[in-house]
Amino acid sequence: MKFSTALFFLVNFGRLSAQAPDGALLFNQNCAACHQLDQMIVGPSLVEMRALYQDKPADFVKWAIAPQKKRPNAIEMPSMAHLGEPALLAIHGYIMKAAEGAKEKKAAAGDRFAGSPTQAVRPLVMRIFMPDAGPASIAVALDSRVSFCWDAGPCRLRYVWTGGFVDGYAYWRGNGHGLAKPLAPVRYTEASPLLGDVAARFRGYNLDPKGFPTFRYQLGALEVSESYLPLEKETGFTRKFTFAVPVTDALALTFPDVPEKAGVRSDAGSWSGKVLTLPAGTTSFTLTHVFP
Ligand code: HEC
């Protein structure tokens, strides 16, 4: 084989593998809330998974599709069957690589989810099945007052409630198939996406040093990150949107109600009824939600 032919194959194999499911991204979206590299949190560490499943990708996939009750002190893992085999194999590949050479640390004392859910250390971000939201929901308690459900499917805020986090006890401890319930009535709902129906792709989330989340996602051509912080004095939160590049056209966001009634303010743009219009060139803006 001539050098140029070999190069051709290399380049094209490179392309093929670039199209394979992204194990790291899928892990981050679907498993990271319960599994850490070197420590048992809700579920066992990646180090332990590697010891169990290093050369057994098929058994790994089998487990993820139909998890069993195995560890006496753990909740039951929810089935990941909806991801499908290729995605689970990609996650297996990612985990085996990520855990290579890492060593298990002693588990943190106590159970994160034991006792009253309202006494949980805050802020708390967890992947859990919530009512009126898709299967990729993330429940977040910002502080002891404000919690919300963010849906990593359509990449948007679903609803917010104040006073108490989720009653996840039945979900975590019980059969694992039920829905967690907000512990207090919902105060704010975004029944439809602010920017209308735009194709969304979740890229994962980061936690800042205090544990407050930033969700990263793509909406159509927009690369967005959305960061949440609680308000100090009032009951409420800020939600800062940042775009990777300035928006080329004006953006119209449609809220569930006019700003006074929805309890929302913006540090940029102009309102007309329920619609907030941000000018072309916007790179970031912050919404402040306050509950009286
Ligand atoms: C809601 C929390 C949660 C999520 C999300 C989750 N797991 Fe788990 N996982 C657990 C728990 C809890 C256990 C331990 C269950 C037991 O031993 O009874 C576990 C155990 C495992 C094990 C060990 C199996 C064994 O034989 O001991 C593997 C492998 C695993 N999970 C893979 C995954 C993968 C892959 C994903 C994402 C696609 C994932 N988990 C998502 C909670 C979760």
Q: What does the pLDDT look like over 171-211, one tens digit per residue? A: 444 444 456 667 678 899 999 999 998 999 988 888 887 77
Q: What is residue 71's predicted lDDT score, i.e. its pLDDT?
A: 84
Amino acid at 159: Y
The answer to whether residues 158 and 190 touch, using CB atoms and an 8 Å cutoff, is: yes
Q: What is residue 237's predicted lDDT score, i.e. its pLDDT?
A: 97
Q: What's the mean pLDDT in 238-258? A: 96
Q: Is 91 in the pocket of ligand 1 (CB under 6 A)?
A: yes
Q: What is residue 168's predicted lDDT score, i.e. its pLDDT?
A: 52
Q: What is residue 205's predicted lDDT score, i.e. its pLDDT?
A: 86
Nearest protein Cα to ligand 1, atom 30? 64
- Is the predicted pLDDT of residue 60 greater than 90, yes or no? yes
Round to whole Å and give the CA distance between 292 and 285.
23
- Is the predicted pLDDT of residue 270 greater than 90, yes or no? yes
Q: What's the mean pLDDT in 235-264? A: 96
- Is the predicted pLDDT of residue 216 greater than 60, yes or no? yes
Hey, how many other C-beta atoms are within 10 angstroms of the C-beta on 181? 14
Q: What's the mean pLDDT in 59-83? A: 86
Q: What is residue 32's predicted lDDT score, i.e. its pLDDT?
A: 77
Q: Is 189 exposed, middle or buried (0-12, 13-18, 19+ CB in 10 A)?
A: middle
Q: Is 130 in the pocket of ligand 1 (CB under 6 A)?
A: no
Q: What is residue 81's predicted lDDT score, i.e. its pLDDT?
A: 86
Q: Is 35 in the pocket of ligand 1 (CB under 6 A)?
A: yes
Q: Is 63 in the pocket of ligand 1 (CB under 6 A)?
A: yes
Q: How far is the CA of 96 from the centre of ligand 1 (A)?
A: 15
Going from the C-alpha of 59 to that of each of 49, 66, 92, 270, the distances in angstroms are 11, 10, 10, 55
Round to whole Å and give the CA distance between 250 and 266.
15
Return the best residue to mutate from 47, 54, 77, 80 for the ligand 1 pocket (most ligand atoms within 8 A of CB).
77
Q: What is residue 215's predicted lDDT score, i.e. its pLDDT?
A: 94
Round to whole Å and give the CA distance between 41 and 37.
10
Higher pLDDT, 88 or 36: 88
Lowest mean pLDDT among 5-9, 27-31, 126-130, 270-274: 5-9
Round to whole Å and give the CA distance between 231 and 173.
32
Lowest mean pLDDT among 63-72, 206-215, 283-292: 206-215
- In the chain, % of residues over pLDDT 70: 79
Q: Is 127 in the pocket of ligand 1 (CB under 6 A)?
A: yes
Closest of 272, 236, 280 to residue 254, by C-alpha: 272
Q: Is 30 in the pocket of ligand 1 (CB under 6 A)?
A: yes
Q: What is residue 170's predicted lDDT score, i.e. its pLDDT?
A: 44
